[in-house]
Structure formats: C-alpha cells, structure tokens
A and B are shown apart, each in its own frame.
Chain A
Amino acid sequence: MNHISPVIWQFFVKWLTNFELYPPEASRIAPQMDALYFFMVLVSLIGLTIVILLVTSFCILYSKKRHPVAVQIEGSTLLEATWTIIPLGLFLIMFVWGALIYFRVYTPPANAMNIYVVGKQWMWKAEHPGGQHEINSLHVPTGQAVQLTLISQDVFHSFSIPAFRVKREAIPGRYTTVWFEPTTPGTYHLFCTQYCGTNHSQMIGDIVVMTPDDFKKWLAESTSGASLAQNGERLFASLSCNACHNGRPDARGPNLANVYGSKLTLTNGQTQTADEAYLRESILNPSEHVTQGFSPIMPTYQGQISEDGVIALVEYIKNLNSNYRVDQTLNTTGLLPEGEGKVAPAARGSTARGMVKQ
C-alpha cells in the first residue's frame, strides 16, 4: 500500500469503519419510520434500476450502428396506463403509510409526561414539571411517553432529534406538540433545524436518555426547590389573578379548578376544550376567549409575562384540582381591602405589598 498516500488511506479506513446509513433507533417510532423509509428506498431503487436497465439496453440494442433506421411508434395507451397506474398505486401506499406515522408522531397519548420547551435565539430551554430547568439538553427516561410542548420566544426554531425520528417547529405565539417514547439509554443529538439567524448552528444540545431509576435520581439532584406549578402559583398571586379567579360564587372570573381538559362554552357560543393553547391564549388575548356568563373585563398580559411565565401559569392551572390553593394564596396575601373580590385597579398594588409584608 505504499503508493497510496497515508492520509487518503486513513481517511478511507475511517470512512469504512464509521460508515452509517441511518442514525440509531432510540425511540418507539424510529423503527416504524425506518420501515417506511426503507420501503421507499427499495421502491426507488427498483424504479431507478428499471429506468437505467431500459435506457442502457435500448441504447445498446438501438444504437445507430445496430439499428440504422428508426421505427416510428406513436405511443401505447396500455403501456402509458401501466406506468401511470403502478407509480400512482405505490405513491398512494406511501401516502397512507406516511400519514399513519404522521398522526402517531403528533398525537400524544393521554399518559404522556409533559415537558415544556422554549426556543430562543440561540438556545433551548426545557422545563420539567418538577421545576428542573435545562439549557440545551433534555433528560428523559426510557419506557415513558414524553410529550414536548414547544414555543418560541422570537423566531421559528425547530426541535429535531434524529435518533428519535421526530421534529417539530417551535413557533412564536402558539404551542406545538410532539411526543416520543425513548427506548435505548444514551446521549443523542438535538438540533435546531429551522434557520434562525447567526448562531443557528450553535443551537444544538444533547438528549440524554436514562433508565427510569437514573432519571428519578437525576430529577432529585437537579431540582431547583420549587416545581413549575409552584412557580406558577407565585406568579398567579403576584399578578393578582386570584382576585377574580378565586372560585367563590360571586367571583368575577371563572373558577379555574379542574378547568383544564374540560369543555367550555364561550360567549360567542362556540365550545372549546381548555387545553394548553387555550389557557395561554386566554392569558394573552383574554377578550376573545371569555367563557359564557362572564364579561370581558380581564386585562391582557401580552408583553407583561415571558413565555416561561406563561408556561408556569398554565402548568399551575393545569394542576389546580381545588380552590384550596387559591384560597391559601388569598389568605396569605391578606383579605382584599374592599373584600368580596371586587378589587379596584389601584388596590392591586397594595395586595402585592401585602404579600411581601407577611
């Protein structure tokens, strides 16, 4: 091998030993998607081979040397129908198969563990329900369906985990979701795949898949003291949300206990399931989402709470099973001066101060 430059030789050795055609399959959906992928590769290879074989054999058989005079042929309806219908049939199979996988990837199961992910130039911030924050990494357990609720604070980003075969754009102004169930412990790539500005290629991170036990340990070690819902509770109090949403019969705002997941009738007569997106919208653009029986008096919080804050509030409301906590908050902040929840705008400041005092 003396005549081959050592650099090139090493290069080829490296290439041959590291050669991979597809990334590791580390989620439940990955093998399913790969099955479709390889089916399509197979169909493509067969199609390509047919075209190449036909072209080559025609070129040999009917080259001018062998076949000096062309025979004029108009066409053949039968043949043309064949190569219309067979590709169409194959494409339709791919369409149906693909759509099934698409729906699976974007329809989270009911028991999925929800993690919020906020994208911003140029980092990913993941927020676990227990209050653990991660920047540019995400720890998840095996054998557990994990739902990501994504939102962007600025431009379009895209949360991509090739080893899981999932990807979803994080869009400013609305939640998107994706889910996966990791199967193999390990560390995998996390990429932002939607071009998002200067450091787009630095918006990467690690997906760390752990066994459930390790994951529990990790959760315990990384806790920041307060859970996401507790953060939300604090925010709920400091924004004086409980002044109206206190669950009392004469409250000016609807009762928020168990509101998550319930069907609501809005003032415009539409029914709406109270999901994360609805809760978010009702905080930022309340007047479009007023429940029947209430008047549109809630102020907008657009521009006053960060996406992280909205997430904390949403998580708090999601976990609100009784008004006990609301009352607790209310009690700790002291009874409102005018009582009966009819708080004047000017009085709000004193409520907040009251909380500090105690």
Chain B
Amino acid sequence: MPDSPAIAHDELETGHPAHPSYQRHHFATMDQQADATSFAMWLFLLTEIMFFGGMFTAYLIYRNWYYPAFVAGSHQLSIFWGTLNTGVLISSSFTMAMGVWYAETRRKQGLVLCLIATFVLGLGFLGIKSIEYAEKIEKHHVPGLHYSVKSFVDPASDKAASEYGDKPLALDMARHTELYFFLYFAMTGMHALHMIIGICILGYMIFRARAGDYTDGHISFVENFGLYWHFVDIIWIFLFPLLYLISRHA
C-alpha cells in the first residue's frame, strides 16, 4: 500500500491523480460527479411534482364538484396577459437553454447575455403576474380578504363576465368561486415563489459567470439550474390551460 495512514488524509502528498479544482474529492471521476448532481436534481424535481400534485388533486376534485363556479371564475382571468406570460416564460426557457449551450461551448459572453436575458424575462413574468394580481385585489377576488361574489351573482355589472355572456350564478354556487380563486392564488403563488427563488439564483449565477466560473468545462451548476428553470416553466404550462383555458367557452 503506497499510503501510510499518517499522510493519507492529505491528498497532495499521496500522489492521487490530479483532478480539476471543481471536482469534489469524494467523487472518483468528474463524470461520476456530474452524473450524481444531475440525478439529484431530477429527484428533487420529483419531490416538487409531488408538492404541486397535492394542489392539482384539490383542483381536480373541486372543479368536478363546482364546475359552473370554476367556469365563471376562469372568465375573470385575462387570456391576453396569460398568453403573453406563457410566451415570456417559454422565451426565458429558450434563453436558459441557450445559456447552457454557451457554457458547454465555453463562450463566456454568450452565457452572461443569456443569463441576463433569462433574468429579465423572469422579472417580466412576475411583473405581468403582479398586474393580474392587482386586478384581483381591486375586484375583491382574493379569498379570505373581503371576498366579493358580485361579479358572479350579477355578471352584468362586471366587464369580464359580461363579455362571456355569463349567466348569473345562484348564491351558493357563486360562493364556491372563492375556492377557484384560492386554488388560482395558491398554485400561481407557489409557482411565482419558485420563480423568485430561481431569479435570485440567476442573479448569483450572472455574477459568477462574469468571473468565468461556468465556462471552464464545469457546467453542472448551470445545467442543473436549467433543469429547475425548465421545470418551473413546465408547471406553468400545466397551470395555464387548467386555470385560464379549459373552462373557457363563450
């Protein structure tokens, strides 16, 4: 045995094969490290799916029970802002994917630009979301906080509802729109929270990318963050039709 216990803990002296500085020393090879971290990311996304799964279950059950309330509720969402936001988010996913590609091909300038673009698009998404939220607050459609069913029992008084020619809902059904809006806020809010976390990490990444940290061949972090960003995107791809589209018929 070449190593004696006395110096075994000091790698430099025992003549271990040299490895890049970013390889954590408990991994045998760089491949193993990259494999392990991306596998971990996939598992984490699996827990995220289960996390959102609870809310999707609630959505499916209540939609089934209170269909008219869910239809009327979805008429209150602006399809324009929703579609625009979907576009913004998909573009941000595209710029993120481009970023990963630039990191792979070790082009720092491109990477930084792409990360900044993703950052800006992410902020844009949140901005649009806050416009939508503001409208809900104005109309007292936030559950629990002076919730008002006026738009549903008297759709004529409401611009969005009258556009769809909504018939007035009976009071008991109209009350159930609160559940719809609760699910709307819980799901999009949880999604927005993920966006905010993502944007914070993006800020940190831009800072490090400018120092050339991800363009030296070690791109695990960018890659895994990309997975996360796409996942958040995919959650939206499910939320958009469920909340905005499927109950919509004029």
Could you tell me which A residues sit within 8 Å of B by CB distance?
284-288, 296-300, 302
Residue of B nearest to A296 (CB): B170
In Å, the complex CA distance between A237 and B62 comes to 34
* B31 touches A (CB below 8 Å): no
Residue-wise, chain B 63-99 has the 8 Å CB interface mask toward A (1 for contact) of 0001010000000000000000000000000000000
Residue of B nearest to A299 (CB): B171
Q: In the complex, what residues of B have CB within 8 A of residue A296's CB?
A: 170, 173
Q: In the complex, what residues of A have CB within 8 A of residue B172's CB?
A: 284-288, 300, 302
In Å, the complex CA distance between A302 and B173 comes to 11
CB-defined A-B contacts under 8 Å, sample of 9: A286-B170, A287-B68, A287-B171, A288-B66, A288-B172, A296-B170, A297-B170, A299-B170, A300-B172
Q: In the complex, what residues of A have CB within 8 A of residue B169's CB?
A: 287
Q: In the complex, what residues of B have CB within 8 A of residue A300's CB?
A: 170-172, 175
CB distance from A289 to the nearest CB of B (A): 10
CB distance from A291 to the nearest CB of B (A): 14
CB distance from B67 to the nearest CB of A (A): 9
CB distance from A212 to the nearest CB of B (A): 43
Q: In the complex, what residues of B have CB within 8 A of residue A287's CB?
A: 68, 169-173
Max chain A CB contacts within 10 Å: which of B68, B171, B175? B171
Q: In the complex, what residues of B have CB within 8 A of residue A285's CB?
A: 172-173
Closest 5 CB pairs of A and B: A287-B170, A300-B172, A285-B172, A287-B173, A296-B170
Q: What 16 new A-B contacts, CB under 8 Å, besides A285-B172, A287-B173? A: A284-B172, A286-B170, A286-B172, A287-B68, A287-B169, A287-B170, A287-B172, A288-B172, A288-B173, A296-B170, A296-B173, A297-B170, A298-B170, A299-B170, A300-B170, A300-B175
In Å, the complex CA distance between A299 and B169 comes to 11
In Å, the complex CA distance between A142 and B190 comes to 57
In Å, the complex CA distance between A285 and B169 comes to 12
CB distance from B175 to the nearest CB of A (A): 8
Q: In the complex, what residues of A have CB within 8 A of residue B66's CB?
A: 288
In Å, the complex CA distance between A269 and B10 comes to 78
In Å, the complex CA distance between A284 and B66 comes to 14
Residue-wise, chain B 137-158 has the 8 Å CB interface mask toward A (1 for contact) of 0000000000000000000000
In Å, the complex CA distance between A248 and B173 comes to 28
Residue-wise, chain B 162-182 has the 8 Å CB interface mask toward A (1 for contact) of 000000011111010000000
In Å, the complex CA distance between A299 and B153 comes to 12
CB distance from B26 to the nearest CB of A (A): 34
CB distance from A216 to the nearest CB of B (A): 42
In Å, the complex CA distance between A298 and B173 comes to 12
In Å, the complex CA distance between A287 and B173 comes to 7
In Å, the complex CA distance between A302 and B178 comes to 15
CB distance from A270 to the nearest CB of B (A): 12
